């Protein structure tokens, strides 16, 4: 699916990266613990999180993550959003909780990548 | 890239917001040198975890990155408290990070296991009360 598809599924709003919504995404990872996210390395991924600090952006940067979705209606401050803009990331915000967000994307066909290896 | 390149970074203590800047810079430099995306990602993740560890546990330190045509060597040297039990520290999920660090998204006990997972070689030299030096190699 594309980032735009994921956005529609989660009724999400765009905070950063309106021009990059047609990128393809093949897997997703949901966590508030960045080291757990760093154990997961897949191409063309979405990161779903409720954590709003600069390290979320850095974690996404290290992993070449395409899109960060903040769940539960969270919105990081402008300094964090500027960091995302500098790195060409797409940042979305959804009112759905973590569990529902992951479930909705999974149901729509977005996988978690290879089970066992990277997870 | 015929000759080896050395990059050196001083990691500031107690500045969690800036933690990761050195890894970010290395990532950019490797990309401009045309290193493969796979190798870049391995270096970036391993070094970032190490950099975070230096800020959380060791009051900063020095990171040296040597880039040569066949490998990238990262040396992370701190003057922190040292690691009393390396085997325990290497276990996934083991962490001594305080709760305030967990609330920032780290301290899940995955730092050292991730560093090992993404590198081809990793050695830990540690002396209690003196500091720790971690050397990691990623082959290109």
User: How do residues B46-60 score in pLDDT, each as one tens digit?
Assistant: 999 999 999 988 988
Q: Which of A33, A35, A58, A76 to mutate to test the interface with B (most CBs of B within 10 A)?
A: A35
Q: Which DSSP symbol is given to B52?
A: H
**Chain A residue closest to B105 (CA)?**
A33
**In terms of residue numbers, what domain contains A92?**
3-107
Total structural domains within chain B: 1
User: Percent of chain B at pLDDT above 90?
Assistant: 74
Nearest CA in chain A to B102: A33
Distance CA B86, CA A22 (A): 45
Q: Is B131 left (phi over 0), alpha (psi -120 to 50) or beta?
A: left
Task: Give the residue carrying structure tokens 């040396």.
Answer: B75
B27 neighbourhood in chain A, CB within 8 Å: 61-62
Is A72 within a domain? yes
Q: What is the CATH number of the domain that holds A50?
A: 3.40.1390.20
A76 domain residue, yes or no: yes
Neighbours of A4 (CB within 10 A): 16
DSSP SS3 for A90: strand
Place of tokens 């974690």: A59
- In which domain, by residue range, is B25 found? 5-139
**ipTM here:** 0.87
pLDDT tens-digit map of B123-139: 999 999 999 999 999 99
Structure tokens at A91: 């940042």
CATH number at residue B76: 3.30.565.10
Q: Which residues of chain B lie closer than 8 angstroms to A34, CB-CB?
A: 105-106, 108
In this prediction, residue A119 carries a pLDDT of 36
Residue of B nearest to A38 (CA): B45
Q: How many domains does chain A have?
A: 1
Question: What does chain A come to in residues?
Answer: 119
A63 in a structural domain: yes
- Asked if B41's CB is within 8 angstroms of A63's CB, the reply is yes
Task: Give the pLDDT mean for A71-95.
Answer: 96
Q: How sure is the predictor about A114, in pLDDT bands with cuts at 50, 70 and 90?
A: very low
């Amino acid at each position: 699916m594309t980032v735009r598809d994921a956005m529609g599924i989660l009724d999400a709003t765009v905070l950063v990266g309106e021009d990059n919504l047609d990128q393809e995404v093949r897997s997703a990872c949901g966590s508030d613990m960045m080291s757990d996210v760093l154990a997961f390395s897949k191409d063309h991924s979405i990161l779903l999180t409720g954590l709003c600090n600069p390290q979320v952006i850095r974690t996404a940067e290290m992993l070449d993550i395409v899109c960060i979705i903040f769940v539960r209606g969270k919105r990081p401050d402008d300094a964090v959003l500027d960091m995302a803009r500098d790195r060409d990331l797409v940042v979305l915000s959804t009112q759905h909780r973590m569990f529902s967000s992951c479930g909705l994307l999974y149901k729509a066909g977005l996988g978690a990548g290879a089970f066992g290896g990277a997870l | 890239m015929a000759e080896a390149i050395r990059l050196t970074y001083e990691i500031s203590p107690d500045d969690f917001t800036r933690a990761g800047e050195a890894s970010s810079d290395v990532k950019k430099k490797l990309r401009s040198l045309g290193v493969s995306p796979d190798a870049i990602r391995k270096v970036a993740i391993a070094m970032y975890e190490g950099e975070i560890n230096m800020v959380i546990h060791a009051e900063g330190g020095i990171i040296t990155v040597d880039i040569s045509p066949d490998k990238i060597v990262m040396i992370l040297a701190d003057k922190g408290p040292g690691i009393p039990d390396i085997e325990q520290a290497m276990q996934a999920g083991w962490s001594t990070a305080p709760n305030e660090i967990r609330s920032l998204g780290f301290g899940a006990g995955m730092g050292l296991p991730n560093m090992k997972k993404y590198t081809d070689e990793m050695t830990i030299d540690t002396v209690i009360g003196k500091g720790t030096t971690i050397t990691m190699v990623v082959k290109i």
